């Protein structure tokens, strides 16, 4: 099964989905992740955002609708958060930290606070030396398909070094969104994960909008936030309309 990975409007400029608990069938408004789950009889959903701002709303509205929330924070990692210069940007890549329980939420807040206060350089940042001190059994580390250390090293020639040997199990997401480099990236992920029994791969689908027909609205939204135009959006990973719930449904019907 392909795991749906939702992103909400709390990841600023990245998604047009919200976490509303209201039924807006007769209104022209953004689609709600909660409503998508209810309409498609999902019992749980995975939410990965770039900040923790929306956690309270997600948790409350999921609980009100008998949905189980799997929550993760997508965070920038670098070699050393104390180094704040342009050269340090070459070591930036993304990881996802999931919480396993209530205690995990408190542990993730501590990590987020350090990344925001001590590591901030254009954006919150964390490094593995500090993560090792803050890591607990209540958390789970996941490597996203896009913008991971593998993605940055293989496709952009950067030098992002993974230092998560202190974590027993690490999950690597694999996606297929018909992007030109998806096959190469998938091959690189599979080669890396074969080096350890503690590395697992998970088929996933990033979801930023509901249906393929919403792609133009989503792209317009991204352009407004990026201050670009539809004629020249200058956005990464945006040559495909498959980052949506409709694509996830199609893949699971085939499997």
pLDDT of 224 > 90? The answer is: no
Using the CB atoms, write b or e for 196-232: b if 16+ within 10 Å: eeebebbbbbbbbbbebebbeebbebbbeeeeeeeee
- pLDDT at position 92 is 96
3-state percent helix, strand, coil for the chain, nearest multiple of 5:
35, 20, 45
- 90-94, 106-110, 118-122, 217-221: range with lowest mean pLDDT: 217-221
Other Cβ atoms less than 10 A from the Cβ of 12: the count is: 11
Q: Are 163 and 133 in contact (CB under 8 A)?
A: no
Task: Return the structure tokens found at 12.
Answer: 């600023």
CA 202 to chain centre: 14
User: How confident is the model at residue 13, as a pLDDT?
Assistant: 87
pTM here? 0.93
pLDDT for position 220:
85
Q: What is the pLDDT of residue 232?
A: 64
Task: Please say whether the beta carbons of 152 and 192 come within 8 A.
Answer: no
pLDDT, mean of residues 232-249:
80
pLDDT-based confidence at residue 252 (cuts at 50, 70, 90): confident
* Residue carrying structure tokens 């309270």: 56
Strand partners, 141: 97, 170
Q: What is the pLDDT of residue 162?
A: 94
């Amino acid at each position: 099964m392909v795991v749906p990975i939702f992103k909400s409007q709390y990841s600023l400029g990245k998604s047009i989905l919200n976490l509303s608990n209201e039924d807006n069938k007769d209104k022209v408004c953004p689609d709600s992740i909660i409503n998508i789950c209810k309409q498609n009889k999902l019992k749980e959903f995975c939410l990965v955002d770039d900040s923790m701002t929306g956690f309270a709303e997600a948790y409350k509205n999921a609980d009100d609708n008998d949905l189980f929330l799997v929550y993760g924070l997508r965070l920038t990692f670098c070699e050393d958060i104390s180094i704040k210069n342009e050269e340090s940007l070459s070591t930036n890549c993304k990881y996802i930290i999931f919480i396993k329980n209530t205690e995990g939420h408190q542990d993730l807040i501590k990590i987020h606070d350090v990344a925001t206060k001590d590591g901030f350089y254009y954006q919150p940042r964390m490094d593995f030396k500090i993560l090792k001190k803050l890591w607990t059994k209540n958390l789970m580390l996941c490597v996203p398909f896009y913008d991971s250390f593998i993605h940055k090293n293989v496709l952009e020639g950067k030098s992002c070094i993974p230092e998560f040997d202190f974590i027993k199990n690490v999950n690597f997401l694999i996606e297929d969104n018909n992007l030109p480099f998806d096959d190469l990236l998938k091959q690189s992920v599979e080669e890396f994960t074969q080096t350890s029994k503690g590395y697992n791969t998970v088929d996933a689908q990033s979801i930023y909008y509901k249906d393929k027909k919403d792609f133009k609205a989503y792209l317009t939204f991204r352009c407004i936030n990026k201050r670009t135009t539809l004629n020249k959006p200058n956005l990464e990973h945006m040559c495909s309309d498959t980052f949506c719930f409709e694509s996830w449904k199609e893949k699971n019907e085939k499997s």
